[in-house]
Amino acid sequence: MQIFGLDIGGSGIKGAPVDLDKGDLTQERHKVFTPHPATPDGVADGVKQVVDHFGWTGPVGLTFPGVVTGGSTIRTAANVDKSWIDTDARALFSERLGGLPVTVVNDADAAGVAEMNFGAGKDRKGTVILLTFGTGIGSAVFVDGALVPNTELGHLELHGHDAEKKASSKAREDEELTWEHWAHRVQKYLAHVEMLFSPELFIIGGGVSRKAQKFLPHIEGIKAEIVPAQLQNNAGIVGAAMRAVEG
């Protein structure tokens, strides 16, 4: 069974059809840049470009980088335009896509669902936390495989700052940090999250998961197991498609 998955991020909008039996993309994903400012209309135009690239005419699952309640209403917008707050995202995207059925889910939650079903979290019990490091830090918390939605742990305060302002992949790039220096910041963040939740497993996702060997060896003192996401940066696309089937 194929469903279209689409991942909206602070820097890019990417999507592809997904084989839900294998948890993998059936075609090479297509990406467009997220507009700045990332207003609802601008992002919706980008979503339409990606979907139209494939000539897709069926259900579409989309991620959003913020809290999504009731499967549609946007409650936070840390890395996109503030005009998203209280927007009915499902209605907006469905209208822009000519009435296609649309499902909207928090981006890290989608990535987590994919990793728990097809990747590094498969068959893992206890508390598992996926963290995506990109423009911000997204989080997905699972207890015995069940998702606790919209946790947004990237906004925990760490040394007087939003954690993602210091430990995101964007912070590493903006401040031109070495991988080792950045790893020490990530270590402090993981220690804080571990103190609060005592997980058995951290899964590190986002684009940096492809370069795990550059920073994971520098992270010390964390009791939980730490592994890179197996679906890497496609996890959000796969999870969005999975959620579209669930409705």
pTM of the predicted protein model? 0.94
DSSP-assigned letter for residue 34: P
Closest CA to 228 of 140, 121, 136: 121
Fold for the domain defined by 2-107+235-246: Nucleotidyltransferase; domain 5 (3.30.420)
DSSP letter (8 states) at residue 86 = T
Fold match, 2-107+235-246 / 120-230: yes
**pLDDT tens string 187-224:** 999 999 999 999 999 999 988 999 999 999 999 999 99
Q: Binning pLDDT at 50, 70 and 90, where does residue 158 land?
A: confident
Mean per-residue pLDDT, 34-61: 97
Please, what's the b/e burial string for 17-29 (b: 16 or more CB within 10 A of its CB; e: otherwise)? bbebeebebeeeb
Question: What is the CB neighbour count within 10 angstroms for residue 48?
Answer: 16
Please name the residue that has the structure tokens 């059925």: 101
Q: Residue 165 pLDDT > 90, yes or no?
A: yes
Among residues 206, 210, 211, 208, which one has the least CA distance to residue 235? 206
Q: Can you say how many angstroms the Cα of residue 199 is from the centroid of all Cα atoms in its chain?
A: 19
- Tens of pLDDT along 107-151? 999 999 999 999 999 999 999 999 999 989 999 999 999 999 999
- Domain locations in the chain as residue ranges: 2-107+235-246, 120-230
pLDDT band at 247 (very low <50, low <70, confident <90, very high): low
CA distance linking residue 166 with residue 156, whole number of Å: 11
At the second CATH level, the architecture of 120-230 is: 2-Layer Sandwich (3.30)
pLDDT for the residue numbered 207: 87
According to the model, what pLDDT value does residue 14 have? 98
